[in-house]
Amino acid sequence: MLQGFPDPKPIASGLSKHFNPHVTMNGKPYISYHGLKKKYKVSIRQYTRSKGYWVGTQIIFSGKNAAYCYKLIKIQKFDWKILMIDQHTLNKEQFPSLSGLPKKPDRPF
């Protein structure tokens, strides 16, 4: 989760290299990537407090999509810069299973 209000477009665009992003804002479709034929999917949910929700962005990989994301991270093919938007960045607590992976200078944790 990215707290605050980062624009989901650069995140979705960056993740579209490996995944077919589905972006919603406050539960409604926001950005569509109809032309992509990726095998793996990612859900990006933007909340703006319009319905009393927390303000921020959730990036959700589930099932085989999460396994593929983890594989990309393990073989160091995941571009962490995608998730560094303005002052927003993920922290280690959001990926506890990654604590044993080798650290890279460009990794935010």
Provide DSSP, the chain. Answer: -EES---HHHHHHHHTTTSEEEEEETTEEEE--TT---SSEEEEEEEESTTSPPEEEEEE--THHHHHHHHHHHTT-S-GGGG-BTTB---GGG-GGGTTSPP-TTS--
103 is a domain residue: no
Q: Which pLDDT belongs to residue 54?
A: 73
Please count the structural domains in the chain: 1
67 is a domain residue: yes
84 is a domain residue: yes
State pLDDT tens for residues 11-49.
899 999 999 999 999 889 998 887 778 899 999 998 887
109 is a domain residue: no
Tokens of 31: 């950005």
- What is the residue-averaged pLDDT of the chain? 78
The whole model's pTM is what? 0.72
104 is a domain residue: no
Tokens of 76: 């160091």
105 is a domain residue: no
Q: Which domain holds residue 88?
A: 2-98
108 is a domain residue: no
86 is a domain residue: yes
